[in-house]
Structure formats: structure tokens, C-alpha cells
Amino acid sequence: MNAFKLWYHKLGSPPYFYVFAGYIQPWLWTIAIVLALLGLYGGLVLAPPDALQGDAFRIIFVHVPAAWMSLFVYGVMAVSAFVAVIWRPKMAEVLAMESAPIGAAFTLIALITGSLWGKPMWGTYWTWDARLTSELVLFFIYLGVIGLYHAFDDPRQGARAASFLAMIGAVNLPIVHYSVVWWNTLHQGTTVRYFGPSSIAPSMLWPLLLMTIAAKFYYGASLMGRSRVALLNLERGKDWVADEVRGGDAHG
């Protein structure tokens, strides 16, 4: 336990985190790519056409993981923002702020693929359905966090202000998740359940889960890369940054 606590506290050190992130990032990318290829092959080639939707359903293998990740990333961002506001560790600020663009990208992908899927199913690309509207609000909150962060000349002041917005915006997460339960919506209900049987065929379920896991590893890899760049900017002028830059020039 003491060794774990020591390692955990070391991760709060920008120089240590920079090296750690650089070490694990290639592994995260590799796992993400392998799982995504397997998931796409299973979803686009092996899975049979849906009985009602035909091949149009296959967009689910991009849409659903992106939608799930839009909530997951926001959860990580909100928790990191809470830690940043209460205890002010620099790494929590970095992780929160660098999660925002990734989460916004996932949310935009979910909105676009959902619209493309909705056209043949509902006859329109967009309707002010509770699930779609709350997901759109989530996208705007992401943009608000990003914009507020960059509105300050001091990155740490910007991160603190944006962290408050991220925490307030977390109230939208249960609205997105439970919108299909609380209101009558065109959007289909939950088909994949953590507890109890899922209402999706196993031949479709395993590629969907692989794509979701791949998306999580992609998030980890992208977050590590973005955090490393942010740390170099945030810590510029520090000796360890100068050492890293000189080391990179020497290897180049």
C-alpha cells in the first residue's frame, strides 16, 4: 500500500507524469488500434444485418461508443475539476482541461452519427428529442469549458474558472443518461445492461463492447499526449522542461 501511495503521489509531479505518460502512450495507442480493428471487423463483417434496420444499424458500432464516451470523459473531467478546485494540484487541472476537447469530439461524433442513423429510422436528421437535446447541451458545455479555459492569460486561473463550470455542468449527465426513462422519446431505450440480460444479440454485442473498450484506450492515449504538451507549456522555464527539450533535440 505504501508503494502504491508513493507512486500515486509521484504522478502528481509534472516531471514524473510527463515521463510516465510518454512511456504508456504507445501501449495505449497500440491496444486501441488493435481492439478497434477487431471491433470493426466483427461489426461490419461478421455481425448479421439487423432484422428491422438491415445494414443501417452498423453505425451503432461508432455511435454508441462515442455516446458512452461523451459521458465517461465528462465524468473524468468533472472529478478532476473537483479535485483541482478543492486541493489545487496542477495535474488535476491539466487532466480536466485536456479531457474537454476529447470529450467534445466524442460528443460531436455521437451527434453526427445519431443524425445519420435517425434519417432512415425517423425520417429526419434531427428532432428535439430529450436524448438528442441533452446530448447537444453536453456538447455546448464542453465548448464552454474549453472557451472559458482559453479566455484567461494565466492557464491556472483559466483552469480554475473552467473547473467550476465543469462541476456545474455535471448536472446534465443524469439527464442525458435517464432521458429515455423520464420522458417519452423517439430514441430507443437501453439495450446493453451491466446487470441482467442485454436485449442485443451476442453477435452484435461483442464488437460493440470491443469498440467501446478501444475508445477508452484511445481516450487514455490522447489524454496522455495532450497532457504532455500542456505540461511543457505550463512548466516552461523549469529546468526539467529544458532538459526534455535538449534531450529531444539530441535524439532528433
Which residues contact residue 220 at a Cβ distance below 8 angstroms, ignoring those fewer than 6 apart? 24, 28, 32
In angstroms, the CA 175 to CA 184 distance is: 13
The topology under which CATH files domain 27-46+54-188+199-228 is Four Helix Bundle (Hemerythrin (Met), subunit A) (1.20.120)
> Average pLDDT, stretch 95-106?
99
Assess whether pLDDT exceeds 90 at residue 78.
Answer: yes
Q: Kindly report the pTM of this predicted structure.
A: 0.92
Q: What are phi and psi of 142, to 5 degrees?
A: -55, -50
Q: What is the pLDDT of residue 39?
A: 98
Assess whether pLDDT exceeds 70 at residue 211.
Answer: yes
Assess whether pLDDT exceeds 90 at residue 189.
Answer: no
Percentage of residues of the chain with pLDDT beyond 70: 87
In angstroms, the CA 104 to CA 224 distance is: 17
What are the domain boundaries of the chain?
Answer: 27-46+54-188+199-228
Q: What is the pLDDT of residue 181?
A: 64
What's the pLDDT band for 117 if we cut at 50, 70, 90? confident
Assess whether pLDDT exceeds 80 at residue 28.
Answer: yes
